């Protein structure tokens, strides 16, 4: 089929206007959704790449202990990667952060708490690697810091994923009651950071400093082994110094089927409602951790063949579903793509799913039937016996974004991907099926354990609180 991908013109006003025509909904006070054009481009465009989060999170600063955070964006970092096709050059973006504690005698101790890297990829013997994403396995890494010279040395381990792994190895089904999550195989690398801060670093809230250094990574646990070693040179002019934890933002890239914003038959009618509910429930992390969902302008795929995705659960598991062709149509480096079709044929349990959970390659495919479940409820699907039809799945996207944020279903019997964390029982991470909504409940544990190479720092106000204390 002849496929054309048509980016929309500025779509913020369109999305806001369509919310009034979506299914009726009640938005709790304090909810927040920023629907805005993502103005931060790729590293190749000379702009900041929006990224990332560590395996855990940066704990709130202890004001009495004199703990500061040193946080900076990595921009256009020159990288060299040894591949099975030879040495390849690329660029990296991302974030780096240290916690720095100063005692009452002025002695400073430093700890690496975040190092996240994102590259558009390199060539390999089997073809393009696709997006490369790395983040720390542990919450922090022991760091040696010479206060007088400014020299920093840290050893760490990173999770490595790139899209070629999925194309080569396929995905690992989550199993359990609802098969709405498919995990990637993950490689690991051992790393060494050698960098330098200015001499006699002075700590002051709201000030900046600089950081220059080199990162060396060596593959130590391969899956396909197409990428072996990496060397990245970083130079950060503005390393922020702060005693407060910044907001973390997840960009969502909606992808609809149609000719553009003026197409009255375009898919995505449920998206404004689903993204608003998702933003609201993750905003409830506010008192534990500030997590904000932001939406890019939609991208339109002009191909009616994708309106109905053929191939049910068996085709999904065997990799023969049209969903895989659809996901190959759009790759946005710094966002999770959410593809919205009309429906699945046959019905897919849950009405949608997440692939490559917890990685930079995470994608979601869902459908407009989330708020238009056929009546009577489809038979043969888990959760539909005695379930509802019509406007049902308001929190479906919030649930799938939980998988993007490295969280699994709570049931210990469900498979959980490598390095991922289980969500809380009776929370938004509980599976529900296609004919019941996911629980409208957020937990402090979900907030605390969320991570993704697609999270980045930004300005946002989070006012909500988790419904479950842990």
pLDDT higher than 60, residue 354: yes
Quote the pLDDT of residue 143: 96
Quote the pLDDT of residue 198: 93
Quote the pLDDT of residue 411: 93
E strand intervals along 296-335: 299-302, 308-310
Do the domains spanning 4-38+248-457 and 43-172+185-242 agree at the CATH topology level? no
In the chain, % of residues over pLDDT 70: 86
When mean pLDDT is compared across 118-132, 233-247, 394-408, the lowest value belongs to 233-247
pLDDT higher than 70, residue 56: no
pLDDT higher than 60, residue 233: yes
Q: What residue has token string 């944020």?
A: 405
Q: How many CA atoms lie within 13 A of 250 on its CB side?
A: 32
pLDDT higher than 90, residue 116: no
Report d(CA 271, CA 260) in Å as an integer: 15
pLDDT higher than 90, residue 5: no
Q: What sign for the dihedral angle of Cα 71, 74, 80, 81?
A: positive
pLDDT, mean of residues 144-149: 94
Most distant pair of Cα atoms in the chain: their distance: 73
Which of 341, 336, 346, 342 shows the shortest CA–CA distance to 316? 346
pLDDT, mean of residues 159-171: 95
Q: Does residue 234 sit in helix, strand or coil?
A: strand
Pick the CATH number of 4-38+248-457 from 3.30.2250, 1.10.3470, 3.90.930, 3.40.390: 3.40.390
pLDDT higher than 50, residue 389: yes
Q: pLDDT digit string (tens) for 64-80?
A: 447 899 988 898 999 99
pLDDT higher than 70, residue 270: yes
Residue 263 CA: distances (Å) to CA of 249, 256, 274: 30, 11, 20
Quote the pLDDT of residue 179: 77
pLDDT, mean of residues 305-317: 87
Fold of 43-172+185-242: Porin (2.40.160)
Kindly list the domain boundaries of the chain, sorted by start residue: 4-38+248-457, 43-172+185-242
Chain mean pLDDT for the chain: 85
Secondary structure (DSSP) of 164-201: HHHHHH--EE--SS---EEEPP-EEEEEEEEEEPPSS-
Q: pLDDT digit string (tens) for 393-445?
A: 999 999 999 999 999 999 998 889 888 999 999 999 999 999 999 999 999 99
When mean pLDDT is compared across 16-20, 243-247, 352-356, 428-432, the lowest value belongs to 16-20
pLDDT, mean of residues 338-342: 98
Report d(CA 26, CA 463) in Å as an integer: 18
Confidence of residue 453 (pLDDT cuts 50, 70, 90): confident
pLDDT higher than 60, residue 281: yes
pLDDT, mean of residues 207-234: 97
pLDDT, mean of residues 177-188: 89
What pTM was computed for the model? 0.84
The encoded tokens of residue 450 equal 């969320």
pLDDT higher than 90, residue 357: yes
Confidence of residue 247 (pLDDT cuts 50, 70, 90): confident
Q: What is the dihedral angle through the alpha carbons of 182, 183, 184, 186, rounded to the nearest 10 degrees?
A: 180
Q: Does residue 281 sit in helix, strand or coil?
A: helix
């Amino acid at each position: 089929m002849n496929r054309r991908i048509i980016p929309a013109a500025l779509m913020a006003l369109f999305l806001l206007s369509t919310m009034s025509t979506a299914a009726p909904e009640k938005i709790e006070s304090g909810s927040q959704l920023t629907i805005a054009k993502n103005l931060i481009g790729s590293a190749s465009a000379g702009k900041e790449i929006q990224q990332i989060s560590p395996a855990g999170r940066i704990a709130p600063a202890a004001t009495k202990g004199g703990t500061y955070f040193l946080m900076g964006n990595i921009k256009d970092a020159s990288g060299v990667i040894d591949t099975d096709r030879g040495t390849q050059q690329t660029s990296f973006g991302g974030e780096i952060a240290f916690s720095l504690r100063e005692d009452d005698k002025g002695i400073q101790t430093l700890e690496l708490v975040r190092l996240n890297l994102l590259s558009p990829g390199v060539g390999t013997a089997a073809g393009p690697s696709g997006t490369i994403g790395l983040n720390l396995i542990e919450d922090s890494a022991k760091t040696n810091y010479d206060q007088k010279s400014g020299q920093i040395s840290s050893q760490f381990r990173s999770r490595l994923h790139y899209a070629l792994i999925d194309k080569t190895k396929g995905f690992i089904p989550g199993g359990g009651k609802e098969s709405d999550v498919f995990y990637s195989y993950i490689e690991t690398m051992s790393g060494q950071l050698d960098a330098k801060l200015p001499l006699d670093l002075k700590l002051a809230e709201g000030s900046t400093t600089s950081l220059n250094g080199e990162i060396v990574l060596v593959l130590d646990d391969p899956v396909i082994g197409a990428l072996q070693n990496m060397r990245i040179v970083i130079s950060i002019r503005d390393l922020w110094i702060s005693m407060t934890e910044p907001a973390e933002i997840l960009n969502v890239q909606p992808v609809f089927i149609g000719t553009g914003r003026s197409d009255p038959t375009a898919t995505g009618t449920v998206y404004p409602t689903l993204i608003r509910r998702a933003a609201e429930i993750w905003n409830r992390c506010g008192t534990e951790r500030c997590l904000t969902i932001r939406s890019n302008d939609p991208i339109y795929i002009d191909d009616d063949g994708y309106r109905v995705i053929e191939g049910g659960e068996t085709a999904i598991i065997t990799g023969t579903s049209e969903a895989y062709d659809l996901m190959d149509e759009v790759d946005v480096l710094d966002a999770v793509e959410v593809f919205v079709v009309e429906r699945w044929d046959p019905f897919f349990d849950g009405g949608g799913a997440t692939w490559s959970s917890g990685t930079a390659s995470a994608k979601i495919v869902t459908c407009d039937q989330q708020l238009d479940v056929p009546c009577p409820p489809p038979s043969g699907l888990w959760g539909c016996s005695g379930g509802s039809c019509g406007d049902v799945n308001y929190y479906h996207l919030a649930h799938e974004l939980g998988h993007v944020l490295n969280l699994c279903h709570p049931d210990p019997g469900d498979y959980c991907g490598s390095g991922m964390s289980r969500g809380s029982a009776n929370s938004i991470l509980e599976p529900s099926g296609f004919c019941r909504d996911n629980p409208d409940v957020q937990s402090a544990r979900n907030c605390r354990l969320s991570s993704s190479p697609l999270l980045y720092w930004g300005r946002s106000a989070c006012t909500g609180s988790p419904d479950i204390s842990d």
